[in-house]
Amino acid sequence: MKENKYDNEQFFVKYSQMDRSRKGLSGAGEWHELQKILPDFRNKTVLDLGCGYGWHCKYVSDHGARKVLGTDISHRMLQTAGEKNSAENIEYQCTAMEDLDFLPETFDVVISSLAFHYVRDFETLVKNIYRWMKADGVFVFSVEHPVFTAYGTQDWYYDAEGNILHFPVDNYYYEGARDAVFLGEHVIKYHRTLTTYLNTLLQTGFELQHIIEPQPPEDMMQIPGMKDEMRRPMILLVAARKR
Amino acid sequence: MKENKYDNEQFFVKYSQMDRSRKGLSGAGEWHELQKILPDFRNKTVLDLGCGYGWHCKYVSDHGARKVLGTDISHRMLQTAGEKNSAENIEYQCTAMEDLDFLPETFDVVISSLAFHYVRDFETLVKNIYRWMKADGVFVFSVEHPVFTAYGTQDWYYDAEGNILHFPVDNYYYEGARDAVFLGEHVIKYHRTLTTYLNTLLQTGFELQHIIEPQPPEDMMQIPGMKDEMRRPMILLVAARKR
């Protein structure tokens, strides 16, 4: 059963108040690094899996893509995407990414931002993506880092006074569902090891181009809590090419 | 100043009592996975950086290598290597790997087992290795996992009764020296992020073939403490090809 947490009203309202929701790409701490590993989008047909508010679709459209398809499981997300990030060459489709089906070699580029940790079966998804892509196509995604997802709660470990001591890692090799707390709400996320993320790509036939654990940008360091982001990796960025 | 801890008598005696020292490759929890990603050694010229007791050199020699050069900073290590793992086509050389120099395209294969976390400047080393290798040559190494090296002490976090709670991660993005405790002795190890390990290879011109965080093998699970090795990654294995 695929969870559709973003159609939960309370959760969606909280999500809409995040910087990355209000400000778009410039409000996302990893964007400055993700942007660097994106391919040339001119005249490309692009798929965005778990597109959310559509900020990436709009960026891709603005950078010369021929056609952009953004997909998401959440109606609410796509409603906002339609309002905030529409363009003539962008289409939004409300389907869980596990249920998508396309003809082989449909897309030049596939992107996905912070969505794959909601997917239970990564291998099947990667095989599908590979099939949907044209040869030499580029696949770029961000996902919550295995260090961040292993323990489950996704919170720091504190002393009795509430000071951060460190970030806890546990059950690393036990992959699967975690009851994570995100925006004060319980959400199911799937933990996978780094081995699974990267070797699944390699074994499917992708060539790895970039593997980045983005650090917070200098100009965000004054945001409360941002300096602590130097203490553990939260996000993993990967760019790969279909061979 | 490069540390030569293995020439410290007390440390060396403790190291010599480890399973991986007494039993060789079969005593090393990661060997079953490392072995899988090693290339064909037949008629190859092979360099082993930080060869220690020479177990890998002997394996490479036994698997048809034409010539094997094992290098290590420690005289004691190489003395044992000469006793335990000598062969006509194996040469041992006592030099810190940072000080080695070879002609371009000298080696078909370069391997290194659990030694790079003692090296301060990984990028310079990787550039050297790339230069020393022939085109299509394979570079395989194991290193302590960034999750394991980040905090520094390399120990679990315990409750008041001494039970393991979890493994602590901190200062992940602050690379550099850590005062680690290994075999009850203080040793300087260098923490690097996964980004640095993998992207340094990619940027130097290597193609990534395998990235593995080895889990303990089933037949070692009864060894005291081994089950806890499922709780956090300790070792990272990487295989790459010179393009």
Cβ distance of B233 and A172 shorter than 8 Å: yes
* Tokens of residue A171, six digits: 């059950």
Q: SS3 of A184, please? A: coil
Mean pLDDT of chain B: 95
Cβ distance of A233 and B171 shorter than 8 Å: no
What pLDDT, on the 0 to 100 scale, is given for residue A21? 87
Chain B hits for A193, CB-CB cut-off 8 Å, are 213, 233
Interface probe, candidates B169, B174, B199, B206, chain A, greatest A C-beta count within 10 A: B169
CA nearest B170 in A: which residue?
Answer: A231
What is the average per-residue pLDDT within B123-152? 98
- The angle, 0 to 180 degrees and rounded to 10, between the axes of the packed helices B122-132 and B194-204 is 30
Residue A167 Cα, gap to closest chain B Cα (Å): 5
What pLDDT, on the 0 to 100 scale, is given for residue B225? 87
Cβ distance of B202 and A208 shorter than 8 Å: yes
Cβ distance of B167 and A168 shorter than 8 Å: yes
Cβ distance of B169 and A174 shorter than 8 Å: no
Residue B98 Cα, gap to closest chain A Cα (Å): 26
Per-residue pLDDT tens over the stretch A180-214: 888 888 899 999 999 999 999 999 999 999 999 99
What is the average per-residue pLDDT within B112-125? 97
Q: What number of other Cβ atoms are within 10 A of residue A45's Cβ?
A: 20
Could you tell me if B205 lies within 8 Å of chain A, comparing CB atoms? no
HEC string for chain B = CCCCHHHCHHHHHHHHCCHHHHCHHHHCCCHHHHHHCCCCCCCCEEEEECCCCCHHHHHHHHCCCCEEEEEECCHHHHHHHHHHCCCCCEEEEECCHHHCCCCCCCEEEEEEECCHHHCCCHHHHHHHHHHHEEEEEEEEEEEECHHHHCCCCCCCEECCCCCEEEEEECCCCCCEEEEEEECCEEEEEEECCHHHHHHHHHHHCEEEEEEECCCCCHHHCCCCCHHHHHCCCCEEEEEEEEC
Alpha-carbon distance of B52 to B70, in angstroms, equals 8
Q: Which residue has tokens 């203490």?
A: A231
Residue A5 Cα, gap to closest chain B Cα (Å): 28
Residue B67 Cα, gap to closest chain A Cα (Å): 31
* Tokens of residue B95, six digits: 């030099």
Q: Are B77 and B92 in contact (CB under 8 A)?
A: no
Cβ distance of A233 and B172 shorter than 8 Å: yes
* Tokens of residue A88, six digits: 């003539």
B15: confidence class by pLDDT, cuts 50, 70, 90: confident
What pLDDT, on the 0 to 100 scale, is given for residue B19? 86
Interface of A with B in 9-68 (CB under 8 A): none
CA nearest B167 in A: which residue?
Answer: A169
What pLDDT, on the 0 to 100 scale, is given for residue A1? 58
What pTM was computed for the model?
Answer: 0.94
* Tokens of residue A18, six digits: 């995040």
Which of A147, A207, A212 minimises the CB distance to B147?
A: A147
* Tokens of residue B84, six digits: 């335990």
Alpha-carbon distance of B91 to B22, in angstroms, equals 21
Alpha-carbon distance of A191 to A177, in angstroms, equals 6
Rounded to the nearest angstrom, the gap between the alpha carbon of residue A2 and the centroid of all alpha carbons in its chain is 16
Sheet holding B157-158, edge to edge: A157-158, A164-169, B164-169, B157-158
**Gyration radius from chain B CA atoms:** 17
According to DSSP, the β-strands at B235-242 and B45-49 are: unpaired
B1: confidence class by pLDDT, cuts 50, 70, 90: low
According to DSSP, the β-strands at A133-144 and A67-72 are: unpaired
Q: Which of A38, A41, A140, A28 is nearest to A89 (CA)?
A: A41
Could you tell me if A172 lies within 8 Å of chain B, comparing CB atoms? yes
Interface of B with A in 100-159 (CB under 8 A): 147, 150-151, 157
- In total, the C-beta contacts within 8 angstroms joining chain A to chain B are 105
Cβ distance of A195 and B174 shorter than 8 Å: no
Residue A150 Cα, gap to closest chain B Cα (Å): 9
What pLDDT, on the 0 to 100 scale, is given for residue B182? 85
Q: Mean pLDDT of residues grouped by 10 in chain A (243 residues)?
A: 85 88 90 97 98 97 98 96 97 98 98 97 98 98 98 95 97 96 89 98 98 92 91 98 96
* Tokens of residue A241, six digits: 């090419």
Q: Which residue has tokens 């339609």?
A: A82
According to DSSP, the β-strands at A90-94 and A67-72 are: parallel
Cβ distance of B193 and A174 shorter than 8 Å: no
Could you tell me if B215 lies within 8 Å of chain A, comparing CB atoms? yes
Cβ distance of A171 and B231 shorter than 8 Å: yes
Which of A198, A210, A231 minimises the CB distance to B211?
A: A198
Per-residue pLDDT tens over the stretch A79-110: 999 999 999 999 999 999 999 999 999 999 99
Alpha-carbon distance of A218 to B24, in angstroms, equals 47
Alpha-carbon distance of B205 to B202, in angstroms, equals 5
Cβ distance of A194 and B233 shorter than 8 Å: yes
Q: Are A6 and A77 in contact (CB under 8 A)?
A: yes
What pLDDT, on the 0 to 100 scale, is given for residue B132? 98
Cβ distance of A208 and B215 shorter than 8 Å: no
Q: Are A152 and A178 in contact (CB under 8 A)?
A: yes
Could you tell me if B166 lies within 8 Å of chain A, comparing CB atoms? yes
Cβ distance of B230 and A165 shorter than 8 Å: no
